[in-house]
Structure 1
Amino acid sequence: MKISQWTRAAMTAVVAAGLAVGSVAAASPAHAAGGYKGKVIAKKGLVIRSAPSSHAKATGSLEKGDKISLDCKANGPKVDGNGMWYELSNGKGWVTARYVDNIGAAPKLCPVADTEFGVGKTKSGVNMRSGPTTDDSIRGALPKGTKVTVRCYVKSEKVGSHQLWYLLDNGSWVSAANVKRLDVPASNWVRCT
């Protein structure tokens, strides 16, 4: 069967367009890591922090109107009534959700991976805090020997020789210095991403 030159060119264009659309769709699944977007609305810009707390080290800044990619959200100290913090998908840190307008859906809670949580036991009495630094407000205390469920961890202020802080399933933070990991798979202990 003979196909005209025009028909062959049209079929080639249709196939090429289909491949291009398919590769774009495959490259950007809805809300994969970095799939969430936001826009900075703070009048004087927004400070990027090393952990989800206004007491954590400043690692950079953003200007009003900047568009940003977000991985996930975690509880932290409230900023003007909003206690959520967003992790930037470029790995540069965290920003308060108070001064970010979501473009589309808001990020999911960290960790975004479908995982079982870590389980630990307090080695001593420990304060639960609103964020991952000792300057963040105390939300309550756990006595020695309390079993805790850990959603994920971040690096933040050092306590003793430990720089990790655990986000508990109740939304509070505790230093890893005060928690002994129990025998669960290492894969259950994940970064807040």
Structure 2
Amino acid sequence: MSLRTTVTRLGVVAAGGALAALTVTGPATALDDTGGADKKPPVYKGRVTAKSGLLLRTAPTRGSKVVRSVPHGKVVTIFCKTKGDRVVNNNLWYLLTDGTWAWGSAHYIANIGKVPRWC
């Protein structure tokens, strides 16, 4: 793994930790271009397609620690996507926000509606 890849992954993990901290303290209110309060960020959804359930991890890598699993067919909330380890020809991973901030391989999550934004 290159130094750039390692640094990128560490940055994404750090961002995930910062995002998790925001859920505890609450986000600061931002102003939009019109000077009013910013709208909530878009909500992205997906359905787990892995027959035996989807393992959620601490980083977008196959070797990172498993945090929990999500059963087949469950609808999950996706915060954003990033590149990580390749899983069956797909290197995209989704940061999920259902209870814990954890990463799931996009290969096993079917988008419902819009494709998630980049992290």
TM-score normalised per structure 1: 0.42
2:44 is the alignment partner of 1:118: yes
Which protein is richer in helix relative to its size? 2
In structure 1, the residue matched to 2:117 is 190
Q: 1:160 to 1:51 in 2, by over 3 A?
A: farther
Distance (Å, rounded) in 2 between the aligned partners of 1:116 and 1:84: 18
The runs of 5 or more residues in structure 2 that have no matched partner are 20-27, 29-38
**TM-score, normalising length: structure 2:** 0.66
**Could you tell me which amino acid in structure 2 is paired with residue 185 of structure 1?**
K
**When you count strand as a share of all residues, which structure comes out higher?**
1
Asked if 1:137 corresponds to 2:62, the answer is: no
* Unaligned 5+ runs, structure 1: 1-46, 54-69, 76-82, 86-107
Aligned positions, number: 92
How far 1:180 moved relative to its partner?
0.4
Q: CA RMSD in A?
A: 2.6
Q: For CA contacts below 8 A with separation 6 or more, give which structure has more relative contact order.
A: 2
Residue 148 (structure 1) aligned to one of 72, 76, 81: 76
Match of 2:108 among 139, 162, 178: 178
Residue 74 (str. 1) matches residue 15 (str. 2)? yes
